[in-house]
Amino acid sequence: MIRLHFLKAVVALSLGSVAAVSAAAAPAAPVKADPAAGQKVAEQVCAACHGADGNSTSPANPKLAGQHADYLAKQLSNFRVQAPATAAERQNAVMAGFAATLSETDMRNVASWFESQKQKPAVARDKALADAGQQIYRRGIPEKNVPACAGCHAPNGVGIPAQYPRLQGQWADYTEAQLVGMRQGGVRRNSAQMTTIATRLTDREVKAVAEYVAGLR
């Protein structure tokens, strides 16, 4: 009888130890982003180029308003060199400098702030070019194995949160520059899928897609 009680005690202690180890090994729940804190970062760090509300007034600087927070946070992180790599996946001296001053929490907060903002709509400037871009965006280019952009970024360009960015209403100049950067593989190497697609597009096709998404609403 004494031995039986002893064995029960050992089993109980063992189970308690396993439960304690499992609890300790469980990953901590991510801290919820704070858009109000992100607004302060945006006003101090981002506003000069992107606008305090994410509506950039310069075609060279992307609109961030309404962009998916997880996507934005990832892009900010990609401007920094991540060991063991010796170069950042996105090359931009200005953004690298700003990203270096932000903590992971700052990145999540500012991304959450911009996601909560409403993007100001834009328009396509060249109808013929936009019409050509519409064909690529909706149907792709089958003979070049280029898929329809709408398949990942949605027919209206709003994208899929955490996976594919919102393209709707983005400056055509910026979208074009990113596609060219992906095609060249030097300044932007953070999307193998898009690098492959971009290498199959001509300069005019890149311009056409960029022009079309600028006018999407």
User: pLDDT tens string for the chain (217 positions)?
Assistant: 444 444 444 444 444 544 444 445 555 566 799 999 999 999 999 999 999 999 999 999 999 999 999 999 999 999 999 989 889 999 999 999 999 999 999 999 999 999 999 999 999 999 999 999 999 999 999 999 999 999 999 999 999 998 899 999 999 999 999 999 999 988 999 999 999 999 999 999 999 999 999 999 9
Do 151 and 209 belong to one domain? yes
Do 206 and 138 belong to one domain? yes
CATH number at residue 171: 1.10.760.10
Residue 122 lies in a domain: no
Domain boundaries, position 165: 127-214
Q: What is the DSSP letter of 48?
A: H
The beta-carbon contacts of 28-31 under 8 Å, at least 24 apart in sequence, are 31/105, 31/108
Residue 16 lies in a domain: no
Structural domain count, the chain: 2
Give the whole-angstrom CA distance, residue 142 versus residue 52.
41
Domain termination site, one of 56, 88, 115:
115
Do 137 and 184 belong to one domain? yes
The predicted structure's pLDDT at residue 7: 41
The predicted structure's pLDDT at residue 58: 97
Torsion sign over Cα 134, 137, 141, 144: positive
Do 197 and 134 belong to one domain? yes
Q: Which pTM was predicted? A: 0.85
Do 132 and 105 belong to one domain? no
Do 80 and 143 belong to one domain? no
Do 76 and 140 belong to one domain? no
The 3-state DSSP class for residue 146 equals strand
Do 140 and 206 belong to one domain? yes
Do 168 and 109 belong to one domain? no
The predicted structure's pLDDT at residue 23: 45
Residue 18 lies in a domain: no
The predicted structure's pLDDT at residue 15: 42
Residue 51 lies in a domain: yes
Domain termination site, one of 115, 145, 162:
115
Q: What is the DSSP letter of 119?
A: P
Residue with tokens 């005019």: 204
Do 144 and 180 belong to one domain? yes
Closest to 42 in 3D by CA, of 100, 89, 96, 112: 112
Do 109 and 178 belong to one domain? no
Do 110 and 66 belong to one domain? yes
Domain termination site, one of 67, 86, 115:
115
